[in-house]
Amino acid sequence: MLNAKLWRHFDFWLLGAVLLLCIFGIAMIRSATITNETLQDSANRQGIFLAIGIVIVLVFSLIDYRFYGAATTGIYLLLIALLIIVLGVAVVTFGAARWIPLGVINLQPSELGKFLIIITLGSYVTAHAHEIEKFSFVLKTLAHVGLPVSLILIQPDFSSCILYGVIWFTLMWAIGLRWRHIAVLTAVAVVLGVVGFLFALQSDSFGYIARRVLVFAFPDVNSQEFQDAAYNINQALISVGSGGWTGQGYGQGSQVQLRFLKVRHTDFIFAAVGNEFGFVGAFLVVVLFAFIVLRIYRAGQLARDPFGRLICYGVGTVILFEAFSNMASTLNLLPVTGSPLPFVSYGGSSLWTFLIGIGLVQSVILRQKQIEF
């Protein structure tokens, strides 16, 4: 049992910022769905998900993170099993099979896997950090991530595959990945990227990836297919632009309430924020995310061992990457990724997995020296 004194080390600033984003997300989900009868209950459901999520944070905070280091084989096999199961029983939505139906909620294994792979890869590389000079070791770590990535690609879920690659690079960089290895892998990645893009152009399953890239690169192409694909991003830009400095007011955003903005409670909720709260509201959301990520990275710097450090760096990078890719694609700075805005977008599976990440970070914090603000 945890010594009660250790709870003094609990990072309430981090949890408070996360809860503030979650509550704001519930408010935005309510505004975004209030005119749609089939979605009106979404805010209430998200509130229930959050209440359960707070318990999840506390439970994962209580569990000593070093326990996971001794159970990495089982955790890794669990991840692979879930990714195999999803291929057989998944709910197909928008042409992708990514969710296991569990009644009240659909579980997305690739979401949970982001944090499971941080644990398993983090444990492996800390145990073999002395082999970082060997390219064979680098290839072993790529194989470790490559198996789940291959299963996720079949779904297909290309944005999650990219994130798993970012997690791999973050953890490997943290233990001292060599520049010569980075150069070789970058060259290989460029070649595979070009080949993959050409393949996607001819593929029914992966064609959406190529279309998103082409729409981003050539937004003014006058074809019906391009215009249909660009509809969501165009409406997102209109939503953000019409919000001005202070927005049109909560529940008063024209693009949101008249339902021109699609998937406004999930993928494009940041556009809804811009529409109703303007530049000021959107900027404050960015500041909150920056505070959360910096707080997590700081916890990693103060961790008592390399494994705890990598857990914090991995969780912080996931939140940073997901938030950035969601906001950037909303503003047409990146091709649309379909990534949720952490803690804000609707979805119980997504919310719980991000809160698991916060619980893992708190577990590291509770077992290190106190963080001073």
Residue type for 371, please?
A: I
CA distances from 233 to 68, 115, 254, 340 (A): 41, 29, 16, 15
Residue 61: partners with Cβ closer than 8 Å, 6 or more residues away: 10, 359, 362, 363, 366
Tell which phi-psi region holds residue 239, choosing left (phi > 0), alpha (psi between -120 and 50) or beta. Answer: alpha
Is the CB of residue 159 less than 8 Å from the CB of residue 318? no
Query: Can you give the pLDDT at residue 295?
Result: 96
Task: Please work out, in degrees rounded to the nearest 5, the angle formed at the alpha carbon of residue 363 by the alpha carbons of 152 and 305.
Answer: 90
DSSP SS3 for 163: helix
Would you say 257 and 35 are in contact if contact means Cβ atoms under 8 Å apart? yes
Q: Which structure tokens are listed for 132?
A: 């970082």
- Sorted by where each begins, the domain ranges of the chain are 4-366
- Reported in sequence order, the residue ranges of the chain that DSSP labels E, i.e. its strands, are 91-93, 96-101, 106-107
Report percent pLDDT > 90 for the chain.
60
pLDDT digits (tens, 9 = 90+) for 167-178: 999 999 999 999
pTM summary value = 0.91
Angle at Cα 200 formed by Cα 196 and Cα 202, nearest 5°? 125
pLDDT score of 348: 86
Q: Which of the four pLDDT bands, split at 50, 70 and 90, describes residue 16?
A: very high
Pairwise CA distance, residues 30 & 228, whole Å: 27
- 96-110, 120-134, 329-343: lowest mean pLDDT where? 96-110
| pLDDT confidence of residue 100 | 76
Using a pLDDT cut of 70, give the percent of the chain over it: 90
| pLDDT tens, residue by residue, 210-263 | 777 777 777 666 555 556 567 888 889 999 999 999 999 998 988 888 888 888
Alpha-carbon gap, residue 263 to 248, rounded angstroms: 19
Could you tell me which residues are beta bridge partners of residue 93?
96
Q: DSSP label at 9?
A: G
Give the pLDDT confidence score for residue 373 in this predicted structure.
46
**Span 261-271, average pLDDT:** 90
Mean residue pLDDT across the chain: 88
d(CA 161, CA 153) in angstroms, rounded, equals 7
Query: Could you give the C-alpha distances from 286 to 11, 75, 223, 281, 299, in angstroms and in order?
Result: 20, 33, 35, 9, 20
Q: List the structure tokens of 165.
A: 């690659």
DSSP string, 170-218: HHHHHTT--HHHHHHHHHHHHHHHHHHHHHHHT-SSSHHHHHHHHHHH-
